[in-house]
Amino acid sequence: MVLVLDAVTKVYRTSEGPLEVLKGVSLTLAPQQTMALTGESGSGKSTLLHLAGGLDSADSGVVHVAGEDLAHLDDKGRARLRRGSVGLIFQQFNLIPSLDVRANLAFHAKLAERYDTAWQAELTERLGLGALLNRYPEQLSGGQQQRVAIGRTLAVRPKLVLADEPTGNLDEATGDAVMALMLSLVRDTGAALLMVTHSPRLADMLDQRLHLRAGRVA
Ligand SMILES: Nc1ncnc2c1ncn2[C@@H]1O[C@H](COP(=O)(O)OP(=O)(O)OP(=O)(O)O)[C@@H](O)[C@H]1O
């Protein structure tokens, strides 16, 4: 399994007192499996994604990513996992403004020492970025920026891709095109995908759906 969550709980401390956001969530994701995470606003979807990506830690329960128990990793270990095994794609594209498209695309792969010229060229072509390599993020449309963000993530060939409303900032036609590209690339690399979405239509494009209701699997 690429991702295992077992009886995971998460409580946020707020000024109004403790807020129990995840109340014992379990799921497993095998290589090449794609899963949509749906649920109302506030049901805990992003929190779950952050725990799976080692961006935050659970209060109880087990989170295993690519065979590693996150509770046994220190900050350095979690950072290593995020660089190598886990790819994150967010609604905001989070490109580096001072780097051109070519350098943005290569950034994570170089950090992780996984830069592969042939794969980089294939990603550039399949994402339709060949003519844009010398541009800077501010000179790109939203759909183009998200294609760069997807290429940057998949350049590393992560085992697990975590995506939070990856097409949430795009119009429907652009979003659908970006989604189709992301799915075909994820499937070709054999990665598993966990994607938060509000859209039942987008959820239907994935193999499975997990619905959260008030911090529990519904
Ligand atoms: N760092 C935090 N501190 C306190 N409360 C938080 C924090 N992050 C999230 N919350 C609260 O936890 C609950 C779940 O948030 P989360 O972002 O996981 O929901 P979501 O299902 O992803 O929602 P949306 O669909 O609106 O993005 C919400 O009530 C939110 O206000």
Which of these CATH numbers, 3.90.180.10, 3.40.1410.10, 3.40.50.300, 3.40.1010.10, describes 30-58+74-217?
3.40.50.300
Question: Would you say the CB of residue 42 lies under 6 angstroms from ligand 1?
Answer: yes
Q: What is the pLDDT of residue 26?
A: 97
Q: What is the pLDDT of residues 62-95, one digit of tens each?
A: 999 999 999 999 989 988 888 889 999 999 989 9
**Rounded mean pLDDT of the chain?**
95
Q: What is the pLDDT of residues 5-43, one digit of tens each?
A: 999 999 999 999 999 999 999 999 999 999 999 999 999
Whole-model pTM?
Answer: 0.95
Q: Where are the domains of the chain?
A: 30-58+74-217
Q: Are 155 and 105 in contact (CB under 8 A)?
A: yes
Give the ipTM of the model, two decimals please.
0.96
Question: Would you say the CB of residue 15 lies under 6 angstroms from ligand 1?
Answer: no
Looking from the CA of residue 12, the nearest atom of ligand 1 is: 4
Rg of the chain on CA atoms, in Å: 17
Q: Which alpha helices (H) appear in 40-171, and where do they start and end? A: 45-52, 75-84, 101-111, 117-126, 142-154
Question: What's the gap in Å between 95 CA and the centre of ligand 1?
Answer: 24
Q: Are 12 and 19 in contact (CB under 8 A)?
A: yes
71 in helix, strand or coil?
helix
Q: Are strands 160-164 and 86-89 parallel, antiparallel or unpaired?
A: parallel
